[in-house]
Each structure stands twice: as structure tokens, then as C-alpha cells.
Structure 1
């Protein structure tokens, strides 16, 4: 039998939203630090300062699931072909790079987990910036779709199928190795929340008011080979293969395609759902733009 899916009261959901505000502030600070010549470690420093000033616990720092080596930073920073769990370090950013910033924190007993991808602005953006922005727009459009479909009584598999269909029809690849999850007292709690349907082997569930979910689609595209009309270039298959890096954390595409990871927290209400990290929609470019 699968673990029960927690149902939160309106006051509980407000606690998650407040934690989400801190996470949003930290992500905005990280995005502002994503400038040409800056290192990914500088992004982590900016995120860590915001969390510390807010009195929030950085939940990624020291995270060691299943006996893995403890994660050494307060946030994940993944660049271009890196998909998720990028370890901040000495990598220097360039204009036009696609940078994913993922932050998890606990404040006053409640957790929030969110991520945004931005394109580094300033200087010569190079030939890939517009393709990267299209990839970000396509990924965020999947979250908009999920929000429009999510309401009590709907099976999540129907939402995931709609997200998959939209991404595939637009020619994007989907990373299926990672899925969203419930959020509440713990950062990762039931259920599993895929942004696709084909091949998912986890349990389906029916949405109920009080569920709080981190929805996190991950799309990929060959940014350096865009097809006609602004569509991604031809690719084989729709599920993008990935590989774990030597650091034991950073996951990258095997194909060299660029990846966009977006993670927003939603709360299911009696009328539909509310986005608890809504202000992240205003972030498109690094450097505070």
C-alpha cells in the first residue's frame, strides 16, 4: 500500500506559501548573480545569504539520500546541458547560457521547493540565447497547463498526459528520470508527480483539495540546431537520456541538448488550484533583468 498523501488545511498551505516567499527571494538573488563572468558558486553564495537572513534552513546543504555523499551547497545550479542537481563551483557563466537555480528551504516548520531557469544577459548573447528563451517559455507553458487542468476529482495522469502531449507536439524532449512530489512538513513527500504519462510506473492519484505539489517539468532541445519556424531541430525519440557526472550529483543530457528545469509549488483548492510560488514567472534573464 502506498503512503497516504497529506492533505493540508488552509492555514497549513499558508505556511508553505510563506516558506515559498523566502525561496522565491533566494532564487531572485541567485538569478541576479547570474552574470557573464560570474561563477555558479557566486549564485550559491547569493542564495545562501538570503536564506540565512530569513532564518530559513537550507535543506539541500548536506542532503544525502540513500547513502550518497552530502550535497555541498545551498542550491543546485545547472548550466546548459546540465539537467538537475548541478553542484555550484568554479564554472564561469557566459552571456546566453541557460542556468537553472533550484532551492529548497524550511521556515517555521514548513517547506518549499522551487526552481527557475534563466538566460544570462549582458554582452553578446551568442547564437543560442533565443533558442534557450523559447525552451524556457515552452517549459513554463507546461506549468500553466497543469494549473489550468488541476482541480479536485481529476486524475493526475490526465494532467501529466496533457503536459507530455503539448511538449511532444512542439518537438521538445522530456526528461523522465525525475518527477515532482508533494511538499509540506517535509521537502519530499508523497505523491510522485510526473510531468508526463507514457512509461510512468508509479501510482496514479486523484487530486483533492489540500494537496500541495511541486510540479517540475524538464524539457530539452538541441539549442545549437533549431529547426524552421523557431521549432527545435530534429531529434530521435522524445524521452531524453541523461547521465550522472563524476561528482555524484550533476545530471546532464547524454546528447548535449540543453535542458530547462522549472519547479513551481501549487496548492489544490476546492475551486481548482493556486500557485504558491507565482512570482517566479517574472524571471526570464539572469543579471536581475
Structure 2
């Protein structure tokens, strides 16, 4: 695990603000009839104008600035000509590199009016992220975060997607350790001040199994049920968790 100094975390906070502001701008543009490619253009323009570079574009061959995952798409959806429809939900995942450091965050938003159960899925996912962040304290074990998320999600009748992880982040987009969003508490490394993690629960209305589409990127629920994701970049500090991806 790479522990960050105060100055490095300050730079990551600046990167995180660019990510958060990008997400807010893209979320404002979400409406029936807009294409996911149009949302991607908004994000890339803002990130570059802020003096940062899109973290995902070109990363391992990914072709776009945002991941735009609609309905049963869990993560890594590729923006394109698809037009959003009333009642859809869309997860928007944004990463930015600023002065050598990364920020990374995700929100899931409704497209117009959505079904009450779809809204409950979004609410529970957001709550699970908040509950997980509350466990991200020095002296805790890594899977204390995991277990708290799983407990909240499953107690509300939803499932945690398996084998897709949060992770350390800093000069690299993906660093150790990997963070599952399910599991027994009290396992994994002890959390130490200076560790920065992405906490990013992905949950489904149905079963937790998934598959990857032929584009080799888009992950969808195996049973076609709706999926949601919320994510923040979080620093472990002596004074508790600090969310670095706030607007």
C-alpha cells in the first residue's frame, strides 16, 4: 500500500473536486433523449478545461471519458449513440488525472420519473457507500468496510455484485489494496493514515452474478435486473475518513 503525505492528498483533493464538478455537470444534462455520447463530450470538455486529463480515455484501450452504464449495465458502459429514455437509470463514472494524481467517483441518477423500487435501489446504494465510508478509519481492518456495505444492502433485499472491487488510488489509477464490497469483518490490512481508497459499491435488484458483453467492457447483470453504483475517493486520516471527491 502506498501511503500519501499531506501535500499529495491536497493534490488528490483538487483532482477529486474536478471529478465531482464534472459529475454534477453531466448529471444536469441527463434527460430523456440525450445520448450517452453527448454526456461524454460534456465531461471531457470540462475535465480538459480544468487543466486535467480524463483518467479512463485510452486506459487499457477504453475509448471514452466516462463510463455510462444504463439499467442492467453494472459498470464500464461505453458511451455512444444510445438515447436515454424516461424511466432509465444511468451510472456515470468519472476519473481525472491532475498534476500526476487521480480522482475517481461515480453516481447513479434517474432519467425523468423512475419506478419507486428503482429509486429505492439508488437510495440503498448511496446509503451503503456512506455506511462503508464511516468504517474507513485508522485502526480498522479493510473488510470492516466490506461487511458494513454488504449488511446494509442485503438487509434491504438487494445484492452486492461479486468480484468487482474498490481499490487504492494515487499516482496510479489502480493501486493496492483491492476492496471487496462484501465479506467478513476484521480481515485484510489495517487501515493507516495516508491510505487513499475508492469505495464503490455496485449492487443489483436481483442476483449478484454478471457477465461481460461482446465489447469486452460493459458488465451487465446476468439476470437482467437493474444495477446501481456510487463511489467516492476517500483518504484515511488521523481524524477519520475524508472524502476527496466532493464538489
Bin of the TM-score, shorter chain as denominator length: over 0.9
1:16 — aligned with what? 12
Matches within 5 A, 1:226-245: 240-245=208-213
2:138–2:192 contact (8 Å) kept in structure 1? yes
Identify the match of residue 273 of structure 1 among 228, 241, 244: 241
Deviation string 1:8-28 (CA, Å, 9 cap, x unpaired) is 112211111100111111112
Report deviation, 1:153. 0.8
- Map 1:16-95 to 2 at 5 A: 16-64=12-60, 70-95=61-86
- Residues 1:111 and 2:102 aligned together: yes
Match of 2:190 among 206, 211, 214: 206
Q: For the residues of structure 2 that align with 1:21 and 1:174, how far apart are their CA atoms?
A: 28
Which residue is equivalent to 2:179? 193
Which shows bigger deviation, 10-19 or 26-35?
A: 26-35
RMSD over aligned Cα atoms = 1.5
Q: Which residue of 2 aligns with 1:282?
A: none
Distance in structure 2 (CA, Å) of the matches to 1:263 and 1:164: 15
1:182 aligns with 2:186: no
Mapped partners of 1:49, 1:31: distance in 2: 15
C-alpha displacement of 1:263: 1.2
Partner of 1:141: 127
- Deviations along 1:123-154, one digit per CA (max 9) or x if unpaired, are xx3xx432222111101111111222221111
Deviation above 2 Å: which 4+ runs of structure 1?
none
Provide the secondary structure at the position in 1 that maps to 2:30.
Answer: coil
Matches within 5 A, 1:2-13: 5-13=1-9
Shift in Å, 1:271: 2.1
- Partner SS state of residue 47, structure 2: helix
TM-score using structure 2 length: 0.95
| Partner Cα separation in structure 2 for residue 160 and residue 8 of structure 1 | 22
The equivalent of 2:219 in structure 1 is: 251
Equivalence for 1:228: none
Q: Does the alignment pair 1:161 with 2:147?
A: yes
Judge conservation of contact 1:119–1:129 (CA < 8 Å) in 2.
no
Structure 1 residue 152 corresponds to structure 2 residue 143 = no
The answer on 1:221 being equivalent to 2:217 is no
Aligned residue pairs total 246
CA distance in 2, matches of 1:150, 1:52: 31
